[in-house]
């Protein structure tokens, strides 16, 4: 069965999209640790990042860096934390989490956002990403 992220990639289910290219998509995490918590996902459905081809892994990291730079311009934070977990969704994804303290990296403290806030935040980060990566 296709993963929930493959269903997002095929547009079967919606997401708050931040960035997309031929190989990857980035969208806001639906249950965020902090404002701007984003997932960067390869379109190829692989469970564990260690099973990605080295070239795909390198490209995923490069894509995630560009997305993180855009998030950092929009969301006030000390830095962007990065985490690869995959215990819930067996489809490689890089968590990019704007953090101001260590608790923001723990997947216990969650924030609630309404649809309009998710939507406006995604659009704002997407604009910065598009501008920075248009050449
Ligand atoms: P993990 O697999 O443990 O790295 O966690 C999966 C992450 O995916 C969690 O932070 C979820 O909130 C997030 N998630 C699950 N379904 C969706 C969805 N439909 N849209 C956005 N994020 C999701």
> Separation of 104 CA from ligand 1 center, angstroms?
16
**Pairing status of strand 17-20 against strand 24-28:** antiparallel
Q: Residue 83 maps to which CATH number?
A: 3.30.428.10
pLDDT tens-place string over residues 12-57: 999 999 999 999 999 999 999 999 999 999 999 999 999 999 999 9
- Ligand 1 centre and the CA of 135: distance in Å? 31
Q: What is the pLDDT of residues 73-121, one digit of tens each?
A: 999 999 999 999 999 999 999 999 999 999 999 999 899 999 999 999 9
**Which of 16, 89, 104, 119 is the best mutation target for the ligand 1 pocket, counting ligand atoms within 8 Å of the beta carbon and taking the most?**
89
**Does the pLDDT value for residue 135 go beyond 70?**
no
Kindly state if the Cβ of 104 falls inside 6 Å of ligand 1.
no
Whole-number average pLDDT of the chain? 97
> pLDDT tens across 45-54, in order?
999 999 999 9
* Angle value at C-alpha 128, between 109 and 119, nearest 5 degrees: 50
Judge if the beta carbon of residue 96 lies within 6 A of ligand 1. no
What total number of domains does the chain contain?
A: 1
Q: Which domain holds residue 118?
A: 4-133
DSSP assignment string, 70-116: HHHHHS--SEEEEE---SS-SS--EEEEEESSGGGGSTT------HH
- Determine if the pTM surpasses 0.75: yes
């Amino acid at each position: 069965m296709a993963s929930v992220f493959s269903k997002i990639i095929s547009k079967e289910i919606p997401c708050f999209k931040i960035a997309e290219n031929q190989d990857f998509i980035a969208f806001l995490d639906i249950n965020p640790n902090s404002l701007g918590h984003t997932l960067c996902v390869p379109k190829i459905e692989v469970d564990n990042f260690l099973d990605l081809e080295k070239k795909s892994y390198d490209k995923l990291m490069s894509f995630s860096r560009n997305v993180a730079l855009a998030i950092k311009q929009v969301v006030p934070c000390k830095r962007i934390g990065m985490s690869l977990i995959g215990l819930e969704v067996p489809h490689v994804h890089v968590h990019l989490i704007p953090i101001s303290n260590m608790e923001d990296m723990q997947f216990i403290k969650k924030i609630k956002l309404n649809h309009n806030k998710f939507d406006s935040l995604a659009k704002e980060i997407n604009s910065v990403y598009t501008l920075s990566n248009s050449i």
